[in-house]
Amino acid sequence: EIQSRAKCLSANAKLLEQLDELEAKARRRDILADEETLYRYYDERLPAEIHQTATFDAWYRMESQKNPQLLIMREEDVLAREASEVTANQYPDTLRLGELTLSLTYHFEPNHPRDGVTLRVPAPLLLSLPAERLEWLVPGLLETKCVALVRNLPKALRKNFVPVPDFVKAALQRMVFAEGSLPQSLGRELLRMTGVRVTDEAWAEAAQQVESHLKMNLEVVDANGKFLGEGRELDELTARFAEAGQAALAVPHSAKGQQPVEAKGFAKVAEKTQQKIAGLSMTVYPALVEEGGAVKEGRFSTQAEAEYQHRRALQRLLLQQLAEPAKFLRSKLPGQTELALLYRDLGRVDALIEDILLASLDSCILEGETTLPRDGAGLLSLAERKRGGLTEHAERLARLTLEILKLWHGLQKRFKGKIDLAQAVALNDIKGQLSKLVYPGFIRETPAVWLKELPRYLKAIEMRLEKLGSQAQKDRVWSIEL
């Protein structure tokens, strides 16, 4: 084997790499010629006396001056067959998502972690990555995936779509690529052809069972393009790399965003800006963000998250700005002794009182504003104009909180003592519902429009518990239907 830096060898290696990617895209090993053909290519063109790198280099330097294309392979020299099915449209090297173009790579090795198609994604983009678009993969793999989805359906459904490949081909002729959910789009066409409806649950189970190469693999990188991890479950990756994603969006240390912000002095916060992340120019959304009781400037990958964080930060700034009325309310809010007793299983009463104040500032000052202030002057002006109703809002919310906690506490008592096995499933379901309604910080987290409905929800749960003794079986049926 000759080890040389000759131009022909590097050019040929690059060509073979490109053709190997053709095989990865087509998922076949019959495109690239075998090793014997490659050996024969060199054997037929090299003089018999060349067996070492030194003699090869000397010969090649001299001969390539006469013929610059010497020993440089052409596709026809190394192709076992034409790969006409592998086109840029069917197997693209990039995926366009909004304003961003992300790279795609292909690998053909069953059971390998990267088998199939891989999308390279900066961590901050995970939160805004459209899961439905990932379902469609690339056009060249779509038919195979659709066939797999239908074949994974329960037999009672699957028998309506036989032969499966024919039904899939007919469906694909009417489906618009990457429009909406793949299973739902496929399901609509199957329903049109047969009158048989496949439920979302059945499609979800079928999707779970498809081979891994028919699920988009996501390679997650940091702001500098460094590999962080990979996988095929978007939700799991989003949770795992949430911190890394936010770190990539961090405002530089030299910028104002790293200094605590005060209501009186913060300059205008832009609604959006461009930031270079992993070689891509991304639109990011600046916002104020609350961190450990202080407020700083941050950046977010989605407008929705930026708006959520900005609103919470404004609540905190208002609490700092209206420190005197807040101090008065901390000591005068009604029912504090009772609140402390009822909330003790969830947290400290001073944290609850602070949440009541922050939520009251929101409902009194921020609620109803079509655009929230993005500079200190705007926030102070708004606070002066609407602060007069703060006491009324805070007292009303304190009374509502007391009502909610009384109902919640009464329901908690129902779970103590011996539990009838016939009621165990229903009780676990109710506990799950309660944990989503009342939890540490629920006063501030629950939008005001829903918070006022909590007593009604809790009373409905109370009625369900009262009927449970005589209707345990019916309750179970109703729960399954819901």
* Residue 454 domain boundaries: 322-482
pLDDT, the chain, mean: 91
Residue 400 has pLDDT above 70, yes or no: yes
Of residues 430, 310, 432, 445, the one with CA closest to residue 375: 310
- Whether 482 is in a domain gets the answer yes
- The average pLDDT across 66-76 equals 91
Task: Inform me whether the pLDDT recorded for 473 exceeds 60.
Answer: no
Beta bridge partners of 296: 289
Whole-number pLDDT of residue 482: 44
User: pTM value?
Assistant: 0.75
Residue 436 maps to a domain: yes
**How does pLDDT run across 53-63, given as a tens digit for each residue?**
999 999 999 99
d(CA 183, CA 56): 58
Alpha carbon distance 82, 85 (integer Å): 9
* Predicted pLDDT of residue 418: 65
- CA dist 335 and 337 (Å) reads 6
Q: What is the pLDDT of residue 373?
A: 96
Structure confidence by residue, pLDDT tens digits, 157-180? 999 999 999 999 999 999 999 999
How confident is the model at residue 1, as a pLDDT?
65
**Rounded average pLDDT over 374-398:** 96
Residue 205 lies in a domain: no
Q: pLDDT confidence of 82, banded at 50, 70, 90?
A: confident
Residue 422: pLDDT band with limits 50, 70, 90: low
Q: Do the domain assignments include residue 364?
A: yes
Taking alpha carbons only, the member of 205, 246, 6, 9 closest to residue 123 is 246
Going by pLDDT thresholds of 50, 70 and 90, the confidence category of residue 70 is: very high
Domain-embedded: residue 366? yes
Domain count, the chain: 2
- What value does the mean pLDDT take over residues 15-27? 89
Chain segment 429-461, per-residue pLDDT in tens:
899 999 999 999 999 999 999 999 999 999 999
Per DSSP, which regions of 76-145 are E strands?
94-97, 100-107, 116-122
Residue 403 has pLDDT above 60, yes or no: yes
Q: What is the pLDDT of residues 273-316, one digit of tens each?
A: 999 999 999 999 999 999 988 999 999 999 999 999 999 999 99
On whether residue 449 sits in a domain, the answer given is yes
Q: Which stretch of 55-59, 131-135, 163-167, 188-192 has the lowest confidence by average pLDDT?
A: 55-59
Measuring CA to CA, which residue among 97, 104, 92 is closest to residue 124? 97
pLDDT for the residue 417: 64
Cβ–Cβ under 8 Å, residues 346 and 438: yes
475 has a pLDDT exceeding 50 = no
Final residue of a structural domain among 55, 78, 101 = 78
Show which of 54, 78, 102 is a domain's final residue.
78
The amino acid present at 75, given as its one-letter code, is E
34 vs 150, residue with greater confidence: 150
Residue 138 lies in a domain: no
Between strands 227-231 and 294-300, the pairing is unpaired
Beta bridge partners of 84: none
Q: Residue 267: pLDDT above 70? A: yes
End position of a domain, from candidates 43, 78, 113: 78
CB 179 within 8 A of CB 185: yes
Q: Which of 26-40, 326-340, 440-454 comes out lowest in average pLDDT? A: 26-40
466 lies in some domain: yes
